[in-house]
Structure formats: structure tokens, C-alpha cells
Amino acid sequence: MKLLLFALLSALCLLRIPAVVKVSEARASWVASVFGLVALYVLGTVTPLEVIDSYLGGVNVTNLLQAIFALLAIFFFNDSVRRLANVPIVRWTYYAPLLSVPIMIVSFALIEDKAPTAADFIDTRMDQLATAVYSGTYMLALLFTVLRTIYMLRHKAKGPYATFSVGLLVVAVAVSCHITYVVLFLFSPWDAFAREIGSWFDRLFYAGLSVTAAGWLILFLSKQLPRLRLWMIDALWLTGLRMRVNADRSRVSPAWDLFNETLENGVYKSLIVLHNYERANLTTFPESIQTRIDRIETKLDARV
């Protein structure tokens, strides 16, 4: 499940790079996917956990980094949803989750015997109050942010947006299981029962995030695929033509326009550059090329 989530987030990061360059509103969701990728990587999803942690002293600093990066990923995803739902910033609810980061760092530092590197670092040290504070603070911040995101999506419960809510609800249940585990382990004699409840965290957490990431990817593709089908081939062909005939003063300009403009605007700009090239050089393109240019112009005029 972790590898599936890593693959989904990788696809999101790569596919959204052009949108990040062009649209400032897309940056929060892209940053969220980057932090999610880093969190999964630090967790040992790609490189073995022991190898990563050995560079950090072999005292499970990777666990702290994973928690911080995961929290930042959810935080920026929450901000992306806030923009999507046109919800104004309420400063105390917006920044409250970030206040948990210094608490997590201090409580992690107070945990005794942090070595050796282990995937079950939290479980084997839950008898320490510092571990409970560290893990509980992290989970409470996650739960707060996830529930706030679900609340903001309450009026958009259709299609991919419903997938967001379903995935986040599963994440909320997973986090609640871990919080229950911490409380029962500390304040009750039912240690075995507490561990049983806590064992559901990994099963539900990554499943819920995978559902959310899949909905995110579907939403992106549903908006972009029609436009890509209509303009991508034309945009690439015109960019290649500009490079081949040296229609620009700079070799970088065609590629920059391809990424820095919307596809329609990129096509329009390329047509202007090519027409200016013809006039400046008192030349015309071969009939086959000119026919295709005319066809693209006709399609562009029909969209206006």
C-alpha cells in the first residue's frame, strides 16, 4: 500500500509541474504531494530505513522527519482544499497544526534510548511519557487537519471530491485508532487490547491516503485530458518547428513558452512567432507545413 501511495504521489508531482509554473493556486497541492513523497521515502519505502537513518545517527531521527513531513503534506493539502472551496483563512485553525512541530521535536529529544533504528520505534518505547506526548501530539495535529479538510469539502461531495472525503475519513479513523492506543496504553491495564487497536493504524492510514491521492489524480486528469487531447500535439509540433527554423532569438524560448503558457496560449504565441519569422525573412513555409498551420489557426479561431 505504501508503494502504491508512493507511485500515485510521484505521478501527481510529475504531471502537475507545468501547472505549478503557470498557476499559483496549484502550488499548495503540489507542495503537499512533494512532502508526502519525502515522508514516504524517509519511512523506508524506497531506500531501506536502516540506510537512511544511519546517515542521521541511527537513533530513529527518520521517524521524527517522517512525522513532520507527513504533517506538512496534510497541512498543504488542507490549504489547497481551502483555496478550492474559497474558504477564508481563520488564522488560529489554519496555523494550529504547525504549533505541534516544536512540541514533537522537544518530546522526541526527551525519549530515552532512541537507538537502534527500528520500524516499531514508537511501540517499543510507548512506556515513556515523552514517546506518548510525541506520538499523541502528532496524531492530534493530523486528526485536527484532516477533520477540517473534510468539513471544507462538505459542499463538494460529488465525484473525485467525494473520493477525497472518503479517503480522509479512513485516515481520520486510522489516526483515532492510534490516539486510542496511546491513551489506553498509558492510562489503563489493557496493554494488549491497546496494541490491537493501534495495529489498525498502518492498515487504514495508507489505504485512506491512497484513496485520497487517487481521487486527486483523477480530478487532475479529468480537467486536463480534454485540453491535452485538443492542443498537446499542436503545441509540440509548433514548438519543434520554431526550433528547427530558428524562429526565435533564443533557443530556450520555444521550450519556455511550452511550459510557461497554457496550451492554447502557447499555440497562439507560436503561430505569431512563425508568422513574424516568415515576414522577417520574406519566405513562406512549404505547402504541407502551411496547410497544417492553417488547420491549427482554424481550430484556434473556432475556440474563440
Look at residue 142 in the predicted model and tell me its pLDDT. 95
Question: 44 by DSSP, 3-state: which?
Answer: coil
Backbone angles phi, psi at 90, to 5 degrees: -105, 105
Look at residue 92 in the predicted model and tell me its pLDDT. 77
pLDDT tens for residues 171-183?
999 999 999 999 9
Asked if 238 and 248 count as a contact pair (C-beta separation under 8 A), the reply is no
Distance CA 72, CA 144 (A): 13
What nine digits make up the cell of 183? Answer: 491513551
Backbone angles phi, psi at 287, to 5 degrees: -55, -40
Of the candidates 10, 13, 2, 23, the one whose C-alpha atom is nearest the C-alpha of residue 261 is 23
Label residues 68-77 b or e (16+ Cβ within 10 Å = b): bbbbbbbbbb
Asked if 133 and 107 count as a contact pair (C-beta separation under 8 A), the reply is yes
Distance CA 2, CA 119 (A): 14
Distance CA 94, CA 107 (A): 23
Whose cell is 505549478? That residue is 20
What nine digits make up the cell of 239? Answer: 514548438
Look at residue 14 in the predicted model and tell me its pLDDT. 74
Asked if 53 and 258 count as a contact pair (C-beta separation under 8 A), the reply is no
Look at residue 23 in the predicted model and tell me its pLDDT. 62
What nine digits make up the cell of 149? Answer: 479538510
Q: Which residues of the chain have pLDDT under 70?
A: 1, 15-16, 18-26, 156-160, 221-229, 258-262, 303-304
Contacts of 5 (CB under 8 A, 6+ apart): 36, 40, 206, 209, 210, 213
Look at residue 227 in the predicted model and tell me its pLDDT. 66
For the purposes of burial, counting CB atoms within 10 Å of the CB of 18, is it exposed (0-12), middle (13-18) or buried (19 or more)? middle
pLDDT tens for residues 250-290?
877 777 776 666 677 788 888 888 888 888 888 888 888 88
Look at residue 44 in the predicted model and tell me its pLDDT. 84
